[in-house]
Homo-oligomer: A and B are copies of this chain.
Amino acid sequence: MSRWKPDAAGRLTKAALTLFEQQGYDETTVAEIAAEAGLTKRTFFRYFSDKREVLFSGSHELEHRWLEAVAAAPADATPRATIEAGLDAVAEMFVDRHAFARTRARIINPNPELQERELIKLQNLAGAIEDALRERGLSQNAAILASQAGVTVFHVAFARWVEQDDPTAFRRLMDESLEELRSVTAA
């Protein structure tokens, strides 16, 4: 059977974004998303807990990649080097997702509830990175500030990346944001 319905999650995501853009996020139902994808509601709920999760399902992979990169950094890496290792890993993840990210931003940005969800996901990510940095032996303060710095740089660079046309610019925008953060905190 599975040969008949390949990439159900991908098709549901594409269908959801199409409908969110066409008729509005609030106006779109799970039944409509499933129908647009040629699948059942039951199949939808196998992949997503609700329609909102279609927009945030990448957050698990994002966290997973970031934490793996932190764990894989050399034992003597500086806090900044561990931040950059995480940014490298997630930039790679997004290389092929520029079109998706732009559409997603057009849906999230005008919707306060979705913006709040985005903020909370980012703070959960920061908490997970903080724990990973503490496991590497960083002090609690250094781990909190480094994780917040990393997530802030990611967030700012991501917003700039979706606003411009070059899909490959994400890593460079991260570098610029990290440099800007370093610059504004310099004595």
Q: Least Cβ distance of A181 to chain B in Å?
A: 5
Q: Least Cβ distance of A80 to chain B in Å?
A: 6
Contact assessment for B116 and A144 in the assembled complex, using a CB-CB cutoff below 8 Å: no
Look across to chain B and name the residue whose beta carbon is closest to the beta carbon of A150. B184
Q: Which chain A residues (140-187) contact chain B, with CB distance < 8 Å?
A: 141-142, 144-146, 148-149, 152, 156, 160, 176-178, 180-187
Look across to chain B and name the residue whose beta carbon is closest to the beta carbon of A160. B141
Using known A-B contacts A80-B185, A185-B80, determine if residue A180 contacts B119 with beta carbons closer than 8 Å. Answer: no
Q: Least Cβ distance of A175 to chain B in Å?
A: 11
What is the number of residues of chain A that contact chain B, defined by CB distance less than 8 Å? Answer: 29
Tell me, in angstroms, the Cα distance from A186 to B142 when the chains sit together.
12
A59 at the interface (CB under 8 A from B): no
| Residue positions of A touching B, CB distance < 8 A | 78-80, 83, 116, 119-120, 123, 141-142, 144-146, 148-149, 152, 156, 160, 176-178, 180-187
**A-B CB contact pairs (8 Å), 21 listed:** A78-B186, A80-B184, A80-B185, A80-B187, A116-B120, A119-B123, A141-B156, A141-B177, A142-B183, A144-B156, A145-B156, A145-B177, A145-B181, A146-B184, A148-B181, A149-B184, A181-B181, A182-B182, A182-B185, A182-B187, A185-B185
Q: Which 8 A-B pairs have the closest CB atoms?
A: A79-B184, A146-B184, A182-B185, A145-B180, A145-B181, A148-B152, A141-B180, A145-B184
Contacts A79-B184, A141-B156, A148-B152 known; 13 new A-B pairs at CB < 8 A: A78-B186, A80-B187, A116-B120, A119-B119, A141-B180, A145-B152, A145-B156, A145-B181, A145-B183, A146-B184, A148-B156, A149-B152, A181-B185
